[in-house]
Structure 1
Amino acid sequence: MASGGVHIPIDDEYTNGREVGEDDDDHYSYSSGRTVATTSTMYRHENGRTYHAYRGMSTAEYWQPNDSKQNNAEAILHHICLMTLEDRLYLAPIGSSPRRILDVGTGTGIWATDMADKFANAQVIGTDLSPVPPGMQPDNVTFEVDDCCSAWVYPENHFDFVHIRGLFGSIADWPKFYKEAYRHLRPGGHIEQIEWSVHVRSADGTLSPSSVLAQWPQTFVHAGRLTGKTFEIAENMAGLIREAGFVEVVEKRFKWPVGPWSSDPKLKEIGKWNLLSWEEGMEGWVMAAYTRVLGWSYQQVQEWLIEVRKALRDRRRHVYHEVRLVYARKPS
């Protein structure tokens, strides 16, 4: 079952205002209280950013940095997800008392920590290639450094809920990944995944095929083909989850404007935060993929990002990208 997004109304007053320029940076500044310090012995340094160094694996295994700048971007994305889901951490019907919850690719651990706060009697585990430094986490959440592409070490039929968010471009064998999730969920347990499409779309035909933002997804798709790790899992995860044996598969689709150009109050607020997310996160999204896989230089990446930022700040461009959430149940 699928649920589609609605048409995005456009705020003409915003569109006809002055273009957002370099002097507006302070308006979009953001400082998260959840930033964490890097541990130099655990991370690798490349192009001014830090990346995981799990078990001596090549940094090509995962493309996103794990430094404080990217952690700020992750906090912004978490906030946008909460706005999108109307302050809910998930949509799957997991009941009021799940006992064991697994958050795969936990990142900063913000979702797992919030779930541990919500379900004080549950055991919550967050796994990632990079460590989550100790903080003010509840006692019922544990963070483990692990590779979700390897065999899962947990008992079969163990978890009530497996949660995945933002792993596009990170998994080479998605069918195998979903089979692992299926095997380790108890009968009747749920899986939920939320991913955002790399494809930027126009709400009113203002995005020409030759524009910078139209070219943006092409580089990701190409990098995914070269590495064997697709960046288009958002478009395919519902079918793959169903093929893994899950039932009652539900897909929800949302639209995230890039910029506050919509006249719809909720979408305007999401768009404002999403533009901030791009501003804060885009260097981390592209640096590794472009330099390691596509052979770009650091300077070429920075010049490209200048063009992308300029396009994003053009009030005449009403662009958005789709976000999909899928949840499903393991048969009882």
Structure 2
Amino acid sequence: MESTDQEPSAPQLAAPHPGQDHTELEVDSEENDSAYAESTRSSFMTSIASSVTRGIFENGRRYHSYGESQYAFPNDERELERLDMQHTMQTMLLNGKLFWSPIGPSPQRILDLGTGTGIWALEVADLYPSAEVIGTDVSAIQPDWVGPNCSFEIDDAEQDWLYEPNSFDFIHNRNFVCAIRNWERLVGQAFRHVKPGGWVEWHEKHPLFLSDDGSLKEDCAIAKWGTTFFEAAEIFGTSATSPRNLKRLMIDAGFVDVEEHILKLPVGPWPKDKRLKNVGLFEMVNMDEGLESLSLMLFTRALKWTREEVLMFLMEVRKATKDKSIHSYYHFYVVFGRKPETTHSV
């Protein structure tokens, strides 16, 4: 991790230009079968201590019970391990960076929306020991042991924020896809509560699966899962197309210097590029472990599938993710912008 006296600016190595990455991912023709061996949780994930205080149970999984809106994904121990592994993968995708906004070397107050296990907030607090870092979530699943400058609060980001306006140097969020029902209001609240000159950054998945070489067919289980996920999310009221709108929503809210980076996130260690090979391996495990989390409530509630129908379908999807002949990926959005120094918002 970078030293505390060095600004974590946007990466210089392999950093994409603003806009979508149209570079075709090169397949590693020498990739051997061992990379596709069955993964074990002990190899890729570590659990952290958590203090979950309450929840509801559905289809054998535990979900949050706080707030007015239901978040479609669980908050049990299985999910927490996956989220920490996903943090490692997404940091690797961003060239080892926790964020790309040029926030400067000495932010004083940082807010992490939807903090999950709190791992991002904890690492940022370590990176900036002089900053107060606050992580909020609808679930109390963060560790009890935290640094003196990091704290966690139970809060629903879609409700009115109780913080003072213009009070944060940096506001961060990731993986809110299929969790937010009113993105325009959320972006507006972020604009209201970040300081003039401060930055807001979003990291969001757009899990519509693609391939550059035609190896992903329309009838492939991976492709079917993606389209089914988008259909279910729409019915659930949390459109999965939201990442495509973030740049426009930020500009409409008043942000300036808005940048949108659309990265390719591979599934499986098929890319020739070493960093993306590792990212793809993590994402293959992430899907293997997380498909049930991402699908059960969404498909049973929105599409009226039975639990058994969901689990049978996911068996096909898992098999396809480990098929080395399929070179699939989806888009990962990094969008950030700055609040103008002169603003009349209150």
Return the TM-score normalized by structure 1.
Answer: 0.92
Q: Are 2:242 and 1:233 equivalent residues in the alignment? A: yes
The code of the aligned residue for 2:79 comes to Q
Matches for 1:217-296 after TM superposition, within 5 Å: 217-296=226-305
Q: Are 2:83 and 1:34 equivalent residues in the alignment? A: no
Matches for 1:139-150 after TM superposition, within 5 Å: 139-150=148-159
Q: Distance in 2 between matches of 1:128 and 1:268?
A: 31
1:189 corresponds to which residue? 198
Q: Distance in 2 between matches of 1:232 and 1:184?
A: 25
Q: CA deviation at 1:2?
A: 2.3
Secondary structure of 1:71's counterpart equals: helix
1:107 corresponds to which residue? 116
On the 8 A contact 1:98/1:122 being kept in 2, the answer is: yes
Q: Are 2:25 and 1:2 equivalent residues in the alignment? A: no
Q: Are 2:63 and 1:47 equivalent residues in the alignment? A: no
**Deviations, residues 164-198 of structure 1 (Å, cap 9, x unaligned):** 10000111111111110100111111000001111
Q: Distance in 1 between matches of 2:20 and 2:223?
A: 22
When residues 145 and 282 of structure 1 are mapped into structure 2, their CA distance, relative to the original with a 3 A threshold, is: same
On the 8 A contact 1:19/1:315 being kept in 2, the answer is: no
**Deviations, residues 87-124 of structure 1 (Å, cap 9, x unaligned):** 21111011011111000000000000111111111111
The code of the aligned residue for 1:46 comes to E
RMSD of aligned Cα (Å): 1.9
Q: Distance in 1 between matches of 2:58 and 2:326?
A: 33
Matches for 1:1-332 after TM superposition, within 5 Å: 2-5=18-21, 6-14=23-31, 17=33, 20=36, 24-26=37-39, 30=43, 32-37=45-50, 39=52, 42-54=54-66, 57=68, 61-332=70-341
When residues 26 and 201 of structure 1 are mapped into structure 2, their CA distance, relative to the original with a 3 A threshold, is: closer
The code of the aligned residue for 1:290 comes to F
| Runs of at least 5 residues in structure 2 that lack an aligned partner in the other structure | 1-16, 342-346
Q: CA deviation at 1:214?
A: 1.6
Secondary structure of 1:25's counterpart equals: coil
When residues 206 and 125 of structure 1 are mapped into structure 2, their CA distance, relative to the original with a 3 A threshold, is: same
The code of the aligned residue for 2:45 comes to S
| Percent of residue pairs bearing the same amino acid type | 37
Q: How many corresponding residue pairs?
A: 324
When residues 105 and 26 of structure 1 are mapped into structure 2, their CA distance, relative to the original with a 3 A threshold, is: closer
Q: Distance in 2 between matches of 1:30 and 1:70?
A: 16
Q: Distance in 1 between matches of 2:258 and 2:281?
A: 31
Q: CA deviation at 1:323?
A: 0.7
On the 8 A contact 2:63/2:74 being kept in 1, the answer is: yes
**Deviations, residues 34-87 of structure 1 (Å, cap 9, x unaligned):** 334564x511111111100115x46xx101111111111111111012112222
Q: Distance in 1 between matches of 2:78 and 2:51?
A: 11
More deviation in 225-234 or 266-275?
225-234
On the 8 A contact 2:50/2:143 being kept in 1, the answer is: no
